[in-house]
Structure 1
Amino acid sequence: MQAGDTIMALSSGSLPAGVAVIRLSGPLVQPALQQLAGVVPKPRQMSLRHIGRNKRLDQGLVVFFPGPNSFTGEDCAELHVHGSPAGVKAILAELRNQGLRLAEAGEFTRRAFENGKLDLVEIEGLGDLLGAETEKQRQQALARYDGRLTQEIDHWRDILLDLRAEIEARLDFSDEGDVAQDLPQSWQVQMAELELAIATALASVESGRIVREGIRVALAGPPNAGKSSLINALSRSDIAIVSDEAGTTRDVREVPLDIGGQLFILLDLAGLRDTDSRAEAEGVRRAQKAINEADIVLWLRAADIDDDTRPETKGRLLTIGTKADLGSATECDLLVSSETGQGLSALVARLAELGADMAGGEPALVSHARDSAALTAALDALAECRNQLGNWELAAESLRRASAALERLIGRLDAERVLDRLFASFCIGK
């Protein structure tokens, strides 16, 4: 990425398409519009123009967004043209001749960050929004992109400034008679409220992660318990191979499923048994690992298989009696039949109920590993401050470190080390 360049990109979907959107940003936007469309339209008003001044390339809508009131903070423009591969290629070639270059992945958004239009928290929300597949993911990502978490962080930083001011007054004016040695009661109240607010946000990280990444549901049990058949029945596809031969499934297969707007990741696992086959033994090992890491484990007991074991797991455990059309397994939470469809609706409803409980009512704003690390660091610094109130210098430094942890989260400190990794996941043209 080179600062000062004028960049361009196809920001819409793959071609051919009904409409293609070409985005521009940088100092050469206005000359490029003059050359390509014959005029720079009035700001933020779409204008129908012939595209191509010396040689007509297309006809489309042109809109101009002058900086700094634009997405990137620079002069920006969009060309809404016909989604013809040849037409788009010709327009991009003409723009390249005028000194523009193709944007790299995430370069428009990176410029928005560098020009103070978005912070890192909002950018992560935008990235999550672009990748949202379910309604809850969309709600969570949009709230983060809209700046709700940034507003919370700014409020916490204001409180930290007030707390530091009280302590630093005792450092700078300790010999003044109007500065008491003891901190006022309001300081203790503010400190306690701040610790509670940050701790509450930190406690919601797991529910936020579940919304963003999905609830991992492991379908486990002995061979031929009906795991692959149940996966196919729930997903209404033939994605998993079903066979009477034990050991058919030897790897962890992930199947996404949207239940009530919440993403569930169904894991089809190898049947758990002792085996001399090294390939199957590896599948069993991976299955056991997936069970240990799953949020929900569906332990399958088939009516035609004698099995009374229950796995150890950190997640929620449901015992599902499969092949209910052949009979009823004992001590099961639910009975289902992939063959007849019996009990499938009840199982989906139970998963939706568990998912709603795990994800919470309002989607959590914190869901990334960076969130957890920053909030934990801030809480640790606040705890150190309490332990160091007998030493004003150390207490003030602890409060400064708490502020730095929050500033690092929104990208006002040490942003460069996360930028490349963050923007690499963005699509071209965003």
Structure 2
Amino acid sequence: MWPTLQGSLRMATRPKTSRFLCRWKSQRAERDTIFALSSGAGKCGLAVIRTSGPDSHSALVRLAGKAPLARTAALRRIRQPDSGETLDRGLVLWFPGPGSFTGEDVAEYHVHGGPAVVSGILNALGGLPRLRLAEPGEFTKRAFQNGKLDLTAAEGLGDLIHAETEGQRRQALRQMEGELGALYQRWSQTLTKALAHLEAYIDFSEDDNIEGGVLVQVEEAVASLAQELETHLQDGRRGERLRDGIRVVIAGPTNAGKSSLLNQLCQKPAAIVSPVAGTTRDVVEAALNLNGIPIVLSDTAGLRETGDAVEKEGVDRARQRVLTADLVLAVLDAAEVSQRPEQLTALLLDVLPANDPTHSRPWLLVLNKADLLAREAKAVLEAACAGMGPSPACLLSCKTGDGIGPFLQTLGERLSDLCGDPQVGSPSPTRARHRLGLTQCLDALGRFGHYRSVDLALAAEELRQARRQLGRLTGQVGSEEILTLIFQDFCIGK
């Protein structure tokens, strides 16, 4: 039976080219041909209109008269199929499937970007039989369904389109190129091999056809994989933080200068600044790009006891934001702290969440209004900060701008620690979907260890469950609901 087992392993790992070609040929005759504007809308110098599907070639001939050589640009007069009226003069390209982005026959029209030109060509395509306007993300969805990229790569492509910072671009590009999917695929192959060996042991161990060390090898492989999964999950949510933005919350007592700090970081009057205590009563948010790292900055109400119902709601929201922050900027009035430097730690703890059991939430102490300090008071305050140990503290003045440069450097270092370098080390999960699937996979491996000494058949079922969870991440196992959620955020034409 071992040759059969080895053959099944080869089937699980062999290239998918032949199966892909068969699937492509069968789907090619069944699907509609879709079209859409793939470049940005509005007036522009160049617009790209794309079609994908079995009628792409005939549509190209109807509009451009003759299809160019594959993957070669040709200048053509693009006409209205019925009347022969010239719509524009531009470049056309022809990509026969399966050697295209979607795996289907694809044609592209590179035309002038005026709204009338684009509208005319889209209307001409829409008037042809068996052509329809693409749905959001349908081009990429077809590429996934035709085996041109896995689900994590498709997600990376979507993230690349929406990337606004250098860090997001680097992470998305790495995921789009398949590094995350390749990692999950390797783990899936490890589970496939372990499961095949375990089932062989269950079926044939009594016939003395299976070596006694096979079960030990399975246990070692599963234990090693579980350790890799734990390490992968213990990344501090770096990938998700970089994709979604690091949540930075400015918190502190009233009149400490929190709104002034927000305005300094935003370089505009994003929040109202007033000498009246309690001016800020709600959360004011701003999205920023700091050295290629996206942050969502939140200014909050001053923390104090109050009888005002509206302000109390603002204080409650502020404390809730602190609890969910990735980084807390604890802002204190340097002039007030200098009068009682021995209470600096207590004042800081009043800002940080008291119900955080580990007290490990990242924070950065900001001592504002340094311009009001005499030289001796400043020295005392710096000594008090040094007495807190290696924890970061920044002395600055939002009014004069003194100390803002060193503060931004320290803040950048803290942000880099939180999201890491997306180009270094193993790729990180970038979505809650990834983390949930990996956690469920790890749970199944833990149950395998339990059932190992109870019932090997149940242990094998847990390995199947673990492999199924990994398959859902790459799209080998999934549902239409998951695909809809992933591709619905893509723009039409991609």
Alignment of 1:322-361 (within 5 A): 322-327=368-373, 330=381, 331-332=384-385, 333-361=393-421
**Cα 1:182–1:386, aligned 2, differ >3 Å: closer, same or farther?**
farther
Contact 1:106 1:423 in 2 (8 A): yes
1:90 to 120, 130, 140: 120
The Cα offsets for residues 46-82 of structure 1, whole Å up to 9 and x where unpaired, read as 1111111500111111111111111111111111111
- Displacement of 1:89 after TM fit? 0.9
Residue 464 of structure 2 is matched in structure 1 by 400
- Indicate the SS of the match to 1:18: coil
- Displacement of 1:212 after TM fit? 1.3
What is the rounded CA distance, in whole Å, between the counterparts of 2:282 and 2:90 in structure 1?
A: 51
- The answer to whether residue 81 in structure 2 is matched with residue 81 in structure 1 is no
Contact 2:181 2:474 in 1 (8 A): yes
What is the rounded CA distance, in whole Å, between the counterparts of 2:270 and 2:220 in structure 1?
A: 57
For 1:149, the aligned partner's letter is L
What is the rounded CA distance, in whole Å, between the counterparts of 1:77 and 1:249 in structure 2?
A: 55
Alignment of 1:263-412 (within 5 A): 263-305=294-336, 309-310=347-348, 311-313=351-353, 315-327=361-373, 330=381, 331-332=384-385, 333-362=393-422, 364-390=427-453, 391-412=455-476
Deviates more, 1:188-197 or 1:107-116: 188-197
Deviates more, 1:157-166 or 1:399-408: 157-166
Residue 57 of structure 1 is matched in structure 2 by 87
What is the rounded CA distance, in whole Å, between the counterparts of 2:236 and 2:159 in structure 1?
A: 15
For 2:74, the aligned partner's letter is S
Residue 11 of structure 1 is matched in structure 2 by 38
The Cα offsets for residues 342-396 of structure 1, whole Å up to 9 and x where unpaired, read as 1111111111111222222345331211111111111111121122223221111
Residue 5 of structure 2 is matched in structure 1 by none
What is the rounded CA distance, in whole Å, between the counterparts of 1:221 and 1:400 in structure 2?
A: 51
Residue 196 of structure 1 is matched in structure 2 by 227
For 1:132, the aligned partner's letter is A
Residue 52 of structure 2 is matched in structure 1 by 25
- The number of residue pairs the alignment matches comes to 428
- TM-score, scaled to structure 2: 0.82
**Cα 1:205–1:121, aligned 2, differ >3 Å: closer, same or farther?**
farther
Provide the aligned C-alpha RMSD in A: 2.0
Contact 2:201 2:214 in 1 (8 A): no
2:258 to 208, 227, 241: 227
- Displacement of 1:185 after TM fit? 4.3
- Indicate the SS of the match to 1:371: helix
Contact 1:298 1:320 in 2 (8 A): yes
- Displacement of 1:304 after TM fit? 4.9
Deviates more, 1:161-170 or 1:328-337: 328-337
Residue 416 of structure 1 is matched in structure 2 by 480
Deviates more, 1:104-113 or 1:360-369: 360-369
Contact 1:170 1:392 in 2 (8 A): no
- Displacement of 1:85 after TM fit? 0.8
Contact 2:194 2:222 in 1 (8 A): yes
Deviates more, 1:3-12 or 1:33-42: 3-12
Deviates more, 1:331-340 or 1:182-191: 182-191
The Cα offsets for residues 8-36 of structure 1, whole Å up to 9 and x where unpaired, read as 11111121011111111122211111111
What is the rounded CA distance, in whole Å, between the counterparts of 2:236 and 2:193 in structure 1?
A: 27
- The answer to whether residue 249 in structure 2 is matched with residue 249 in structure 1 is no
For 2:465, the aligned partner's letter is R
Contact 2:71 2:93 in 1 (8 A): yes
What is the rounded CA distance, in whole Å, between the counterparts of 1:177 and 1:13 in structure 2?
A: 66
Contact 2:185 2:474 in 1 (8 A): no
The Cα offsets for residues 184-230 of structure 1, whole Å up to 9 and x where unpaired, read as 54334322321222222122261111211222111111222111111
- The answer to whether residue 158 in structure 2 is matched with residue 127 in structure 1 is yes
Alignment of 1:27-42 (within 5 A): 27-42=54-69
For 1:160, the aligned partner's letter is L
For 2:125, the aligned partner's letter is L
What is the rounded CA distance, in whole Å, between the counterparts of 1:317 and 1:154 in structure 2?
A: 37
- Indicate the SS of the match to 2:237: helix
- Displacement of 1:182 after TM fit? 5.6
What is the rounded CA distance, in whole Å, between the counterparts of 1:277 and 1:25 in structure 2?
A: 61
What is the rounded CA distance, in whole Å, between the counterparts of 1:305 and 1:90 in structure 2?
A: 68
Runs of 4+ aligned structure 1 residues displaced above 4 Å come to 304-308, 328-332
What is the rounded CA distance, in whole Å, between the counterparts of 1:418 and 1:305 in structure 2?
A: 54
- TM-score, scaled to structure 1: 0.94
The Cα offsets for residues 154-200 of structure 1, whole Å up to 9 and x where unpaired, read as 21122112211221112211321232456454334322321222222
- The answer to whether residue 208 in structure 2 is matched with residue 177 in structure 1 is yes
